[in-house]
Amino acid sequence: MSEYSFTLANDVPLAEEQLLNLHQKCFGHYEGVLPFDRPTLSWYLARPGLGLDHTLVITFQGEIVSSLFLTLTKMYFAKEIVPVGIIDTVMTHPHHRKQGLASQLLKEAETIIKDRRCIFGYLYTIPDTPQFGLYQKLGYQPFRRVYHFQASAPLCPSFDLTPFPIYFEEDRLQKFLNQTFANYDGFIPLDSNQWKWRKKERPPNLPAKLLATGKEEIEATITQNPGKIIIQGKEEEALFLSDWGGQSSQSKMEALLLALPPFPKGKIDILCPQVNREDWQLLKQTGFFPTLPEQAMLCPLTPQGKTLMNQAEGNFWYPLIESMVGV
């Protein structure tokens, strides 16, 4: 390990360029991954609480060979808003694997998370993989299983609805999302910075369109994120749906149908945790089917964290699409 050096990305020359090259080396042909270009990476690094100053890297002869994104933020959990450190995009150059670099970065991240008095470390991974085992050894516990629900053909709902888009003021949409998802563990409150990053100041190839249904009041919302994913080594069109919430099953179904194109060009993907049973059933009724599972894992760093995990049993879960898919 003597030739390897730990630092933060903002101390490395041409850090964004190096991180982009590393991402393409590690994930360029990875099934189901969103391909990154420079604008996408720059947008992702601008995520509130992330930045190059929270991008942990290990260099070898001046080149970044392993990295980890650490986002310091706050989220709802067991009806409280708690500080957390979110870990994602852990990657190591193929020529430098099996050197313990990822483990070193995760331990460095835990030190930072603890120093910031966070309650949890939080990440997503594919269950029953070597990475899953590594995270368990470092204290991360499986907490919520989330599935990618997909559909690739025009859908046939089990009952007839004719939804139509309604245009509401931005502040009302923001307030509705914050109120709706305040009951979901894992939801990051949408302050002005989060709102700009998630809904407005996005890269050209990853636009976000927030749709709403209702008459005088908002009854349900859903966001369309058109993009691309890697399928069998090739880029394919995909439509990612997120922030799906509403006041009733009927209103949520209306929002879902509103977001679905009649003749989709590629995959339609929406995340659904197993504990969100109503959403699970609505998706199946609409022709979606569960595919790839991902595991939300939490590392309780304080006695309060352990207590809150016990109190949160059975609560709704908010799937963090930016950490799982990158949109």
* Average pLDDT of every residue of the chain: 90
How many C-beta atoms surround the C-beta of residue 175 within 10 A?
A: 14
**Span 4-145: which CATH code?**
3.40.630.30
The pLDDT-based confidence of 163 (bands split at 50, 70, 90) is: very low
Pick the CATH number of 147-294 from 3.40.50.2300, 1.10.3720.10, 3.40.630.30, 3.40.50.620: 3.40.630.30
Q: Is the pLDDT of residue 160 over 50?
A: no
Q: Where along the chain do its domains lie? A: 4-145, 147-294
Q: Is the pLDDT of residue 322 over 70?
A: yes
Q: Is the pLDDT of residue 159 over 60?
A: no
Residue 2: what pLDDT?
65
Note the pLDDT tens digit of each residue in 98-157: 999 999 999 999 999 999 999 999 999 999 998 999 999 999 999 999 999 998 654 544
Residue 92: what pLDDT?
96
- Quickly list DSSP for 270-297: EEEETT-HHHHHHHHHTT-EEEEEEEEE
Indicate the DSSP class of residue 131: H
> Are 4-145 and 147-294 equal in CATH topology?
yes
Residue 47: what pLDDT?
97
Which residues contact residue 17 at a Cβ distance below 8 angstroms, ignoring those fewer than 6 apart? 38
Note the pLDDT tens digit of each residue in 39-91: 999 999 999 999 999 999 999 999 999 999 999 999 999 999 999 999 999 99
Residue bearing tokens 């939804």? 163
